[in-house]
Structures are given as structure tokens and as C-alpha cells.
Amino acid sequence: MMDIDNQLVNEKTKVLKQIAESAQRGKSEEVRVAAEKLNRIESLMERYQELLRDIASLETPDNKTKPTSYAASTVWSTEDEDLGNVGDQSGKGAARAIRTVFLTKAERFGVHLAYVKGIIYGTPTGRKVGIAAATERNADRWFLGLPSDGFDEAVLLCRPKTGDIVEIFLPKSFFDEHGRRMGRSGSQIKFNVSRRGSDYVILVPGTGGVNVTKFIGAYSLLK
């Protein structure tokens, strides 16, 4: 099974490189085809992780740990409820498309993120980065979620109704200072992002809103 895991990771790395090269040449059709392949690879990765969890549950004495259903175990299903449709894509497709664009752009900035599981990626130094995406359903507001114990740093991808996606990079120091006060729902930590004029803030209980404008586009934080 480890060979399967490595094969999927290697395939994803090759496809991300292909997307970056095609994007640089302006080959939009090649980018679209490669993005579809990337979606299939990530779907296989999710299914592979679910298979490992089911196998582990079989090894539990007396089967006291029940296998978790695929829908309940994946972060996609929870997050996609906030994404709606982007263009002609479904919510799930929209989430993956937004992340694909970001990962491709990150490669061009020299930021190499390896798939770990769900929407968690790893840096070359071993830090785990949660990448959440949401569209603007309410004016100047975005609602995002990440598994509360699955990451060290985060990237929030906020897609407005018009204009470019806003990329907010949250370092570990942000969570050291504010993590305990942030809202939670089940096993997820919630991010309530608000645009105030030209500034972006994350609404954290007990504060008037933490200004994160300085973290927008801060790719260097992931190096």
C-alpha cells in the first residue's frame, strides 16, 4: 500500500508541474485537462486514506471502532456546503478548482506543497498547511473551516463575487495567539472572514476582529 501512496503523490507532483508549465505557455485547454486529472488523483487519495482507516478499524479489538463513512471522514463535504457553484462547476469541483489554481501559483512562487490528506498539505520542512476555500455568499463575508488538530498553518482562499481570489496566509504565531478563542463546530475550527474597506479581518471572540491584511499574498511564509 505504501507503493500506491507514493505513486499517487508522484503522479500529483507531475500533474502540478504540467499545470504550471502549461499556464506559463498560456495553454488554457492543457491546464483544464490537467486539472481534471488532478481532481481524479485527489479523489483516489481520499479513497486510499479511507481504505487505510477501514483496515485499521478491523484491527481494533472486538471491532469497537466503527469504520467511518466516506462522507463523514472527508473535509470536502463540510467545506463544500459553503462554496456553492463557481461558474458551471459543482461546489466540490469549485473547491478543488480554487485550490488547484492556488497550488499552481504557489509553485511559480517557489512554494512546494505536498499532499497529505483531505485539504492538508505539507511543506518541505514538515509543517502542515490547511488550505480552505469559500465564495462570497454574503456581502464582504466568507465562512471557512479546517480540521482543528490537523495543521500548523493555514491558507484561506476567499473568492469574491467579482475580482481575484484573496489569499490569506496565517502563520503558526496567529494560532498561538488566537487559536484557543476561535469558534469551533464539531472537529473543525471556523474562520469568519470580513472585508472592511480595504482591510480583511478574522472575527475572533473577545476581539474587535483581527486584521490579517498584512498576510495577504504572503507566500514567503510557506518557504
The residue ranking higher by pLDDT, 135 or 199, is 199
CA distances from 216 to 87, 107, 128, 167 (A): 24, 17, 19, 5
User: pLDDT at position 93, please?
Assistant: 61
Which residues of the chain are in CATH 3.40.1350 domains?
Answer: 75-223
Q: What is the mean pLDDT of residues 161-184?
A: 94
The CA distance from 117 to 70, in Å, is 13
CA distances from 56 to 49, 52, 184, 217 (A): 11, 6, 27, 40
Q: What is the CATH number of domain 75-223?
A: 3.40.1350
User: pLDDT at position 48, please?
Assistant: 74
Question: pLDDT-based confidence at 82, cuts 50/70/90?
Answer: very low
- Mean pLDDT of all residues in the chain? 80
Interval 106-118: pLDDT, tens:
988 999 999 898 8
User: pLDDT at position 78, please?
Assistant: 32
Answer whether 170's CB lies under 8 Å from 153's CB: yes
User: pLDDT at position 60, please?
Assistant: 53
